Amino acid sequence: MTKILNNKIFKSIFTLLKTCFFAILIVYILFVGYQRLSGNKSIFGYRMFTVATGSMTGVYNINDVIAVKDYDVNKLRVGDDIAYSGNRGGLENKFVTHRIIKIEDAANGGKIIVTKGVKNQVEDPPITDKQVLGKVVGVVPIVSEVNHIINTQAGFFFLIFCPLVIVIMVDILQTITDEEIENNKLKKISSKNKNNLDEEII
């Protein structure tokens, strides 16, 4: 085991994998954390949302992670998929991703937009342009696949829990091994010094 842990190739591969794993995890957590703490403000013009219901099945599936881009409301068209902040009709304080089925000019110069989930029979309550968060530009492939996997018990266990345990265990073993090597070096130096001292005394 000590030979494996001290192998340069193993160390390089392990360090690379550990760095990539934690880098992806940290970036994802920071992105999602910033969105939630900032009231879902966009980062570089984009937001990410996880699909929670089947209202858009066939276009976006449950647990898909979608990218929503800041978009000029005046350029939106019927058929565009948008994300908006609901404020009535059971959608209070919820973020909704549905398809535009109607756009009308409001009396105040803004827009009145009506959306509906492609699998829903009933349209959503009308919203104003102020509620629109942006236009959906598509599913984020790799993040979505990971999200689908970790939302299962087996996926979470093998993709998150196991790698974390392995990383921690290898780090602990590496620390123990390094300490043993250091102690052996110190013992050899101590023994050598003692022998030299004995020789001098003789």
Q: What is the pLDDT of residues 40-54, one digit of tens each?
A: 777 788 888 889 899
Asked if residue 74 is part of any domain, the answer here is: yes
Reply yes or no on whether the pLDDT at 3 is more than 60. Answer: no
Starting at the edge strand found earlier in the chain, the sheet holding 65-69 runs 46-50, 65-69, 132-139, 81-85, 95-105, 111-116, 127-128
- Same domain, yes or no, for 122 and 174? no
- Using an 8 Å Cβ cutoff, are 107 and 36 in contact? no
The count of structural domains within the chain is: 2
Domain C-terminal end among 94, 118, 140: 140
**So what's the pLDDT on residue 10?**
65
- Range of 14's domain? 2-25+152-201
Asked if residue 160 is part of any domain, the answer here is: yes
pLDDT, mean of residues 103-118: 91
Task: Specify the CATH number for the domain of residue 107.
Answer: 2.10.109.10
Most confident region among 1-5, 8-12, 97-101 by mean pLDDT: 97-101
CA 179-181-183 angle, 5° bins: 65
| CA-wise closest residue to 156 among 63, 41, 42, 33 | 63
- Same domain, yes or no, for 51 and 118? yes
Asked if residue 50 is part of any domain, the answer here is: yes
**So what's the pLDDT on residue 102?**
95
Asked if residue 30 is part of any domain, the answer here is: no
Q: What band does 114 get if pLDDT is binned at 50, 70 and 90?
A: very high
- Same domain, yes or no, for 56 and 119? yes
**So what's the pLDDT on residue 127?**
94
pLDDT, mean of residues 107-111: 86
pLDDT mean across residues, the chain: 80
Domain C-terminal end among 140, 162, 178: 140
Asked if residue 109 is part of any domain, the answer here is: yes
Q: Which amino acid is at 123?
A: E
**So what's the pLDDT on residue 116?**
95
Please tell me which residue, 26 or 35, carries the higher pLDDT value: 26
Asked if residue 147 is part of any domain, the answer here is: no
- Same domain, yes or no, for 47 and 84? yes
Q: What band does 141 get if pLDDT is binned at 50, 70 and 90?
A: confident
- Same domain, yes or no, for 136 and 111? yes
Query: What tens digit of pLDDT does each residue of 63-99 get?
Result: 898 999 999 999 999 999 999 998 887 888 888 999 9
Q: At what angle do helices 162-201 and 8-37 cross, to 10 degrees?
A: 130
- Overall pTM surpassing 0.75 (yes/no): no
- Same domain, yes or no, for 197 and 130? no
pLDDT, mean of residues 163-171: 76
- Same domain, yes or no, for 103 and 184? no
Asked if residue 129 is part of any domain, the answer here is: yes
- Same domain, yes or no, for 157 and 132? no
Structure tokens belonging to residue 87:
């404020």
**Sign of the four-CA dihedral 127, 128, 134, 136:** positive
